[in-house]
Amino acid sequence: MLSSARHQGETRDAVITSLFKGLADHSRLSVLRSCLNIPRCVSEITEVTGLSQPNVSGHLACLWDCGLVEREQRGRRTYYSVPEPRVRALLAAADDLLVEVGDRVYVCSRYHPEHQT
């Protein structure tokens, strides 16, 4: 247990930072989005995302370890899904926010050094 509210806040911020770092990987986000609405197995996610099977499997392991996806065994295949509605809500909120600030985020030289002027 943390000894002070300040440390609790710092720990919470560190965990939130880790969550967003995990979602900041383009491939991992593609894997997550691919099984957002329907459960998919690795081969289906590979087909949808265009990523290699080892890459998809690695991202799914990370997402599963963090509790962002669930897995269900069906015969010899494992299907991955995103049952937590707050994950969907977080991605929807990001999409909504990008309607307003997406152009600025895209050209931000802090996020995209190639866009420096």
Banded model confidence at residue 115, pLDDT cuts 50, 70, 90: low
Domain annotation covers residue 8: no
Based on the domain organization, do 95 and 59 belong to the same domain? Answer: no
List the one residue out of 24, 47, 25 whose CA is nearest residue 35: 47
> What domain range is 66 assigned to?
24-83
Model confidence band, residue 91 (pLDDT cutoffs 50, 70, 90): very high
Write the pLDDT tens digit of every residue in 33-79.
999 999 999 999 999 999 999 999 999 999 999 999 999 999 999 99
Determine the pLDDT at residue 1: 40
Domain membership of residue 2 (yes or no) is no
* Same-domain status, 31 and 76: yes
Residue 6 located in a structural domain: no
Distances (CA, A) of 3 to 6, 10, 11, 12: 9, 12, 11, 14
| pLDDT of 7 higher than 80 | no
Q: How many domains does the chain have?
A: 2
Nearest in space to 65 (alpha carbons), one of 86, 80, 50, 49: 80
Q: 32 and 51, same structural domain?
A: yes
